[in-house]
Amino acid sequence: MHHIQYQKNELMVEGVAVADLVKRHGSPLYIYSAQTLIDHYQSLSQSMSPVDHRIHYAVKANSNLAVLKTLAKQGSQFDIVSAGELTRVLRAGGKAEHCTFAGVGKTDAEIEFALKEGIYSFIVESESELSRIDLIAKKLKVQAPVALRVNPNVDAGTHAKITTGTYDNKFGVNYEFVRGIYERAARKPNLWLRGIHIHIGSQITKAKPFQEAVRKMLPLVQELKDQFHIEFFDIGGGIGVVYDPALESGKASWWKKQKKPPLTPQLYADKLLPHLKKLKMTILLEPGRFLSANAGILVAQVIDVKEALSKRFVIVDAAMNDLARPSMYEAYHEIIPFKKSRAQLVSTDVVGPVCESGDTFCKNRPLPPVQQGDLVALMSAGAYGFTMAGNYNTRPMPAEILVKGTKARCVRKRQSLDDLLELETA
């Protein structure tokens, strides 16, 4: 969050005051820091520099065209999961040949579109998907580049809804089946066995599960390289970020108990590079959250403050439809006022206006007192924030702003009610 912080007691995104942006663009408002995206991209790329690697940013984390363009300019390539995401990459000036196409249910139309555009590789989820890709490639008279997603059966120790690498999950092909599938696929002339892929989950805060998965994969990857000349090993995304800075500063007792520092690109690289170097292959990484989470905030305005017998409710104009993570995963997002406060903290529930009790951003959290009209920022909202937003309760989607230095650009207009109703007929 280096570029989103208080300067002279006022919350700033790089060189621009949050309050000024809200004056101009209204609230709720997503604001992103371009420099933070760039710094995160560079630090990861730097840490992985001892091996030939490519960073395929997971577009699902934050797919705003300006965010994609900022990362593409740094040399980022892309992990996409739909024809829609591929279209975004192309509109942002990226190239299909720099994209891997993952996802557990690609339609024939999506496969055909990606093949015609010249995708770098499909990340294939089953043997039957391989057969469909082969048929479509035959029809188009091309060779389809493919890599199988292997489920290594490693527990990432993360939230159940975002763990993907165990046999309980719908993702990938069981490790034990992989050799047979490559052997059969090698006999299909319209398939080009280009790589192999794993992704064990998201918001993983320790290096160990990554290390375990990579170590388990090494002999298999080496074998497939020798036998089928595959050129890349995609180790997926999942690097966790710090959502609660109290943890980072070591203040929280939970973190002290762990006696471990938060996961950094350097720690991640230190654990994985000794294994990856041996392969002498191109290593692909698919980070989403690591690049964008702490590059963005969601700003909301206080609509009302309500005192109950046991607590205080702060009702803001952002809701679960704008930022789903707290209601969906009970995820922690730090909440801070736009003016630094030293007032005594009060136990507070910050809630949105949606008609569900789950529309709650935090419960019983000690926060500085705020009043109607004040602004608060929900921090670390740059990943899986806007991309998971919706129109529940007929609430228009917020605007998005990208700040670079002292310049701010509206990179997505606020949705109007007319926009929202445009596709409907009475």
Residues catalogued as catalytic: 355
Q: Which stretch binds ligand LLP (CB under 6 A): 181-189, 198-206, 306-314, 397-405?
A: 198-206
Q: How far is the CB of 172 from ligand LLP (least distance, A)?
A: 9
Among 182, 255, 290, 386, binds ligand LLP (CB under 6 A): 290
Among 76, 203, 348, 360, binds ligand LLP (CB under 6 A): 203
Closest CA relative to residue 232, chosen from 276, 199, 179, 194? 194
Tell me which H or E stretch contains 297. strand 296-307
**First and final C-alpha spacing in the chain:** 46
Q: Which stretch binds ligand LLP (CB under 6 A): 21-29, 82-90, 283-291, 404-412?
A: 283-291
**Residues 33 and 296 sit within 8 Å (Cβ to Cβ):** yes
CB within 8 Å of 249: residues ≥ 6 apart: none
Rounded CA separation 42/66 (Å):
18
Kindly tell me the burial class for residue 281, based on how many C-beta atoms sit within 10 Å of its own C-beta (0-12, 13-18, 19 or more).
buried
Q: Which stretch binds ligand LLP (CB under 6 A): 10-18, 287-295, 367-375, 399-407?
A: 287-295
From the CA atom positions of the chain, what is the Rg in Å?
A: 23
- Binding of residue 162 to ligand LLP (CB under 6 A): yes
Spell out, one character per residue from 9 to 48, where the chain touches ligand LLP: x when CB under 6 A holds, - when not. ----------------------------------------
- Binding of residue 199 to ligand LLP (CB under 6 A): yes
Q: How far is the CB of 41 from ligand LLP (least distance, A)?
A: 13
Main-chain dihedrals φ then ψ at residue 424, nearest 5 degrees: -100, 155
- Binding of residue 79 to ligand LLP (CB under 6 A): yes
Among 28, 209, 287, 296, binds ligand LLP (CB under 6 A): 287
- Binding of residue 3 to ligand LLP (CB under 6 A): no
Largest CA distance in the chain: 71
Q: How far is CA 270 from the centre of its chain?
A: 23
Number of chain positions touching ligand LLP (CB under 6 A)? 21
How many residues in total does the chain contain? 426
**Residues 55 and 45 sit within 8 Å (Cβ to Cβ):** yes
- Per-residue CA distances from 395 to 139, 296, 305, 419 (Å): 44, 21, 21, 11
> What is the CA angle 29-202-106, rounded to 5?
90
Cβ closest to ligand LLP, residue 162 vs residue 305: 162
Report which residue type is found at 256: K
Cβ closest to ligand LLP, residue 326 vs residue 368: 326
Among 25, 40, 289, 333, binds ligand LLP (CB under 6 A): 289
Spell out, one character per residue from 234 to 273, where the chain touches ligand LLP: x when CB under 6 A holds, - when not. --xxxx----------------------------------
Q: How far is the CB of 183 from ligand LLP (least distance, A)?
A: 25
Among 21, 58, 185, 336, binds ligand LLP (CB under 6 A): 58
Q: How far is the CB of 289 from ligand LLP (least distance, A)?
A: 4
Report which residue type is found at 132: R
Name the token pair of 317: 């104009």
Question: 10 Å Cβ neighbour count for 125?
Answer: 21
Q: By CB under 6 A, name the binding residues for ligand LLP.
A: 58, 61, 79, 102, 162, 199, 202-203, 236-239, 286-290, 325, 329, 383-384
